[in-house]
Amino acid sequence: MIVDWDYGFCFQGEQAMKRVLAVLLIILLVPGVSIAQDDDCPVQVQRVLANVARDCAGTEPGQACFGHGPIEVTTREGGGAFGAAGDILALDETCCMRLAALQAPDEWGVAVMEVAPDVGEHSLTAVLLGEVEMQNAASFFSELEVRVESDTPVYAGPGSHYDTVAGVVAGDVLHANACNCTQNWLRVRLPSGEIGWIPARRATVLGEVDSLPVAAEDSPIYAAMQAFTFRSGTAEPACASAPESGILIQSPAGAEAARLWINGVDIVARATLFLQAMPEGEFSIEVLDGEAMITADDETIAAPAGVRVAIPLSSGYAPSGHMRVEPYAAPDIENLPFTLLPQAVDTVPFDNPDPLLVGQKACTVVSDRGETICALHFVNLDGDAIVRLETEFVYAAQGTWEGSSHETPAIIEGDTVSGDLAWPVSCSLGGANFIGPVIWSVTIADESGHVSEPFEASFNCVDG
């Protein structure tokens, strides 16, 4: 069942949803897989997952596969059928998708996606499980039609000093998906699919330029479902052997790290991740294997396998507070259907006894104003107190800098297992107006003598 896309919002209220789900239940109430209660539930869950593996085995890059319902979708015009096991839907036609939580006797939404990033040859596999609602935020969803008014080159960036990548002539119709901060350059998609920039004065935008996001030369372009917002249910699964609701994502082995934009958070990962989110609650990213660089606002975390990164969310699906890092609990992931992923997952728990620095909050230090406290994110599984923080100077464009050692650094937030350590820093500009970044190699040691690997941290020194 497909609902025509409405640009105001994804789904047209609960009554419309109930009508769609009623139709899907009629489809589902035929001989086949049934998710029963009590003792039958584990067997039926495994049977559903086996059928999904069979029915969705041929899913290709840029496609979503209907694994088990109910699933409600909204599409752009001409999306196609998506109401029975094995049905395929193009991701670039998919606007929103909502899956049902596991409930007896017949409900459990499961879908498989092969996301083809805008850059790179390998697709990401995403498995949607249970109560999940997601909205496509691909770059082309913000596009406005542009009519070229006079012949112009197409440049690699927002300026005529960039390389010329193509040319367009008066009368050509392009699609703009971003502009620069002054709106005098437009980032456009050519009919060939190539991306470039043209002067805004050479074209007429058919729509509100203010609706275009601001981008720079190196701002990423996101393909269908490479960028999305989502929420997941928080209720306990209907039976103990069923996985929790959420999204399981795996990047291909041996490929370059994949980039995602999810709920306003940038993720660059060569990893298997399990995601859960609730507006006005938390966006949780569990790194099951590999590693992920996770950036929200001015914070970046280098998250190793075995940890969970929790990011507070606003009601508008945007980061709204400080990221927290902690080891995830093994029961959180024990029922996840790794058999639906193309590669085996080695979920070895985070058991490194050494403390680990994993990130920092962006830090600005005012010249000649005494010490400023910068925050360094750490994980220390054994909970031993951190007794020393040492820094070694690495690089700055100018100035004279010396390393330092700090005994028993304070914990700003969290506890001895995970949180933020205080890094006291100071600087002097001398005759300069700005120095940055000032880069340091930082290590920490705990009371058992365990020492972290060096971590590269930095701050900017500014005039007060």
Note if the bond before 437 is cis, omega within 30 degrees.
yes
pLDDT computed for residue 17 by the predictor:
37
With respect to CATH, is domain 140-211 assigned 2.30.30.40?
Answer: yes
Closest CA to 457 of 396, 381, 384, 387: 396
pLDDT computed for residue 254 by the predictor:
77
Dihedral angle at the C-alpha atoms of 27, 33, 35, 36, nearest 10 degrees? 110
3-state SS record for the chain: CEEECCCCCCCCHHHHHHHHHHHHHHHHCCCCCCCCCHHHHHHHHHHHHHHHHHHCCCCCCCEEEEEECCEEEEECCCCCCCCCCCCEEEHHHEEEEEECCCECCCECCEEEEEECCCCCCCCEEEEEECCEEEEECCHHHHCEEEEECCCEEEECCCCCCCCEEEEECCCCEEEEEEECCCCCEEEEECCCCCEEEEEHHHEEEECCHHHCCECCCCCCCCCCCCEEEEEECCCCCCCCCCCCCEEEEECCCCCCCEEEEECCEEEEEEEEEEEEECCCCEEEEEEEEEEEEEEECCEEEEEECCEEEEEEECCCCCECCCCEEEECCHHHCCCCCHHHCCCCCCCCCCCCCCCEEEEEECCEEECCCCCEEEEEEEECCCCCCEEEEEEEEEECCCCCCCCEEEECCCEEEECCCEEEEEEEECCCCCCCCEEEEEEEEEEEEECCCCECCCEEEEEEEECC
pLDDT computed for residue 79 by the predictor:
61
Give per-10-residue mean pLDDT for the chain (464 aa): 37 41 38 52 88 95 94 80 91 92 85 84 90 91 90 94 93 92 92 90 91 84 92 84 93 86 94 93 94 91 91 88 85 89 82 88 93 93 92 94 94 90 94 93 95 96 90
Do 356-462 and 140-211 have the same topology in CATH? no
Residue 452 buriedness (CB in 10 A; 0-12 / 13-18 / 19+) = buried
Protein fold of 356-462: Immunoglobulin-like (2.60.40)
Task: Give the separation between CA 193 and CA 200, rounded to whole angstroms.
Answer: 19
Answer whether 269's CB lies under 8 Å from 251's CB.
yes
What does the domain layout of the chain look like in residue ranges? 2-134+223-340, 140-211, 356-462
How far out from the chain centre does Cα 421 lie?
26
pLDDT computed for residue 317 by the predictor:
83
Domain range 2-134+223-340, its CATH number among 2.60.120.260, 2.60.120.1440, 3.40.50.2000, 3.40.50.1000: 2.60.120.1440
> C-alpha distances in angstroms, 117 versus 98, 121, 138, 262?
22, 8, 10, 14
pLDDT computed for residue 385 by the predictor:
93
